[in-house]
Structure 1
Amino acid sequence: MEMIWQGILAALRLLITGDPEVMEITLLTLRVSTIGTLISLLIGIPFGTVLALKAFPGRRVVLSIVNTGMGLPPVVVGLWVSIFLWRSGPFGFLNIMYTPTAIIIAQAIIASPIVAALTCAALQQTNPKLRLQIKALGATRLQYVWLLLKEVRYSLLAAIIAGFGAIVSEIGASMAVGGNIQGQTRVLTTATVLEVSKGNFDIAIALSIILCLLAYGATLCLTLLQQKQQGGA
């Protein structure tokens, strides 16, 4: 119990004093997770929309793969991204291994299936009568898709929350492609594991508390936005 209190006090001390290293790690965590989430939205929403609204051969197989991707182990993603970005890999010439860019790529891959699957599920649950009504009003294909996405906007915000939550808390991919390099690729999850391995449980608890506060803060903002829009609908 004493160790837990020491961790809480250490977290308060680090936050109040604005420890430079902790602030750097926290800001990097927020930056890569936010960019990774945005990229996953650019990939996942269009892909999920196509899966929901377009009939094509093998659609159910693709949908099952996307649904499986929702539980894709981050360490597996980290492994394959490492293989492709390694110096001898297909994209080794980019020289982005062990950089924040590599972490962003891995995290975007982790979150994209989540966003795509939730987008597809939301669109498939729309009222068929609404679809017919939109078409009857002479909407173009783009207008048709836009109106349906607008109809499920609350579910899309839930998809954003789920995607962000999945990548801000993952460690396997970040460790594999980032290398946990101090001042360059060290994020809150990898820093926590490092402190645990060193036996610094008070600092590890402090970092874990900061990570939870970061995740909660971001999720709270999205939830408030979701509820505000829902209340104004």
Structure 2
Amino acid sequence: MDTIVEGVKKAVLMLVTLDADIYRITLFTLKVSGIATLISLAISLPVAFFIALKDFPGKKILISLANLGMGLPPTVVGLWVCLLLWRSGPLGRLRLIYTPTAIVIAQTVIATPVIMALVTAALQQVDKKLRWHIMALGATPLQMLFLMVREARYSILAAVIAGFGAVISEVGASMMVGGNIAGYTRVLTTAIVLETSKGNFEDALALSFILLLMAYLGTLALTYLQQRRHKDEYGN
């Protein structure tokens, strides 16, 4: 119990005193996870839109694969990305292994199926009558996508936060493809693993509380938006 209390105190001290290393690691974590989430959203939106509106052979299989990807082990992703980017691998000439770009690639692979599955479900739940009305008005596919995204925006926001939460909390892939290099590829999760392996449990706990705080702030933002929507719709 004393270790936990000291960990909380140290986390507060790190934040209040503007610890340079902590802020650098935290900002870097937000940067790579944020970029990976945005790339995943850019990939997922058009694919989810196509799946939601079109009937084609293998549609259920594609959806099931996306759902399966929601539970994709980060270490498996890290292994495959590492093999691709390794110096003797297919993309070895790009020299991306142990770089921030490698972490973004691995996290994008992790986040994409999560966001794609949830966005597909959100778009499929849009009222079919609304879709028919939009098509009757002669909307282009891009206009249709925009209007459907607007209609399902809160569910899509939840999907984005779920994808972001999946990548910001993973450690296996980031460790394998990033190497946990201080000041270059170290993120909060890999820093926690490092401090724990060194027996610095108070430092590891402090970092874990900072990571939990970041996750909570994302959840708080979603809750605020959802409650504002409920208030706008029902006036209470």
TM over 0.5: yes
Deviation at 1:16, TM superposition (A): 1.3
What amino acid maps onto 2:39 in structure 1?
I
Residue in 2 that maps onto 1:4: 4
- The equivalent of 1:112 in structure 2 is 112
Instruction: Give the whole-Å Cα distance in 2 for the aligned partners of 1:106 and 1:15.
Output: 29
Find the counterpart in structure 1 of residue 147 from structure 2: 147
State the partner residue of 2:76.
76
Kindly indicate whether residue 129 of structure 2 is the aligned counterpart of residue 132 of structure 1.
Answer: no
Name the residue aligned to 2:205. Answer: 205
Match of 1:196 in 2: 196
Distance (whole Å) between structure 1 residues aligned to residue 174 and residue 89 of structure 2: 18
TM-score of the aligned structures, taking structure 2 as reference length:
0.93
Give matches, 1:37-76, under 5 Å. 37-76=37-76
Following TM superposition, the consecutive aligned residue runs of length 4 or more in structure 1 with deviations greater than 6 angstroms are none
Asked if 2 retains the 8 angstrom alpha-carbon contact of 1:154 and 1:230, the reply is: no
Whole-Å Cα distance in 1 between the matches of residues 44 and 149 of structure 2?
13
Aligned to 1:89: 89
Greater mean alpha carbon deviation, residues 216-225 or residues 60-69 = 216-225
Equivalences, count: 233
Partners of 1:128 and 1:58 in 2: how far apart? 22
Provide Cα deviations, 1:141-172, integer angstroms capped at 9, x if missing partner: 32222212211111110111101111110001
RMSD: 1.5
Unaligned 5+ residue runs, structure 2?
A: none
Once the two structures are TM-superposed, the CA of residue 140 in structure 1 deviates from its matched residue by: 2.5
Q: Is contact 1:157-1:226 (8 Å) kept?
A: no
Look up the match of 2:103: 103
CA contact (8 A) 1:77 1:109 kept: yes
Q: Percent identity?
A: 59
Task: Give the C-alpha shift of residue 54 in structure 1.
Answer: 1.6
Matches of 1:193 and 1:141 in 2, distance apart? 46
The aligned counterpart of 1:178 is 178
3-state SS of paired residue (1:103):
helix
Q: Deviations over 1:76-134 (max 9, x none)?
A: 11000000000011111111111111101111110111111111111111222222222
Q: Which amino acid aligns with 1:211?
A: L
Asked if the contact 1:86/1:92 (under 8 Å) is kept, the reply is yes
**Aligned equivalents of 1:220 and 1:25: distance in 2?**
22
Letter of the 1:86 partner, please give it.
Answer: W
Aligned-partner Cα distance in 2 for 1:173–1:84: 13
> Aligned AA for 1:13?
L
Aligned-pair CA distance for 1:5: 0.8
Q: Report deviation, 1:57.
A: 1.8
Check 1:230–1:96 CA distance in 2 against 1; reply closer, same or farther (3 A cut): farther
Partners of 1:165 and 1:71 in 2: CA distance: 13
- The secondary structure found in structure 2 opposite 1:88 is coil
Report the Cα distance in structure 2 between the residues aligned to 1:108 and 1:56, rounded to whole angstroms: 26
Secondary structure of the equivalent of 2:186? coil
The 3-state SS of whatever aligns with 2:47 is: helix
Structure 1 residues 21-72: Cα deviation after superposition (integer angstroms, max 9, x where no partner): 1111111111111111111111111111111112222111111111100110
Q: Once structures 1 and 2 are overlaid, which stretch shifts more, 75-84 or 16-25?
A: 16-25
Structure 1 CA distance for aligned equivalents of residues 216 and 2 of structure 2:
25
Contact 1:78–1:106 (CA<8 Å) still a contact in 2?
A: yes
Residue 36 of structure 1 corresponds to which residue in structure 2? 36
Q: Per the alignment, in what secondary structure is the counterpart of residue 180 of structure 1?
A: coil
